Amino acid sequence: MNDAVRPKLQDVLNSAQLSPVYDESGQFGGVKLTNIRPGGAFTGMPENSVCFELNGAKLDGVQRLPQALLSMGDGQTCLKCRQPDGTETLRCL
């Protein structure tokens, strides 16, 4: 594992509780953020936002997020998230 990535990955994983979300047909629909911690990667995002896209690719499982953070190294990762009111936002880590 790239040592430069580990703190960033920990920061993301520690900054909110990530839980899978499924649509009506049982398909994976994204990662829901709850217990968002002040000062973390998701600061300022509303509770229960659902992140469903990573760098333009649909998330297909809750493990995609840590895997992508590890594989991208020092590059930027941008998540497309839907807030509870339905607005979509891009959060780059």
* pLDDT (tens digit per residue) in 21-64: 998 999 999 999 999 999 888 999 999 999 999 888 899 888 88
Q: Is the pLDDT of residue 2 over 70?
A: no
pLDDT at 76: 78
Q: What is the pTM of this model?
A: 0.84
pLDDT at 92: 87
- Provide mean pLDDT across the span 1-17: 75
DSSP assignment of 1-64 equals --TTHHHHHHHHHHHSEEEEEE-TTS-EEEEEEESPPTTSTTTTSPTTEEEEEETTEE--STTH
Q: Is the pLDDT of residue 4 over 70?
A: no
Lowest-pLDDT range of 7-16, 18-27, 70-79: 70-79
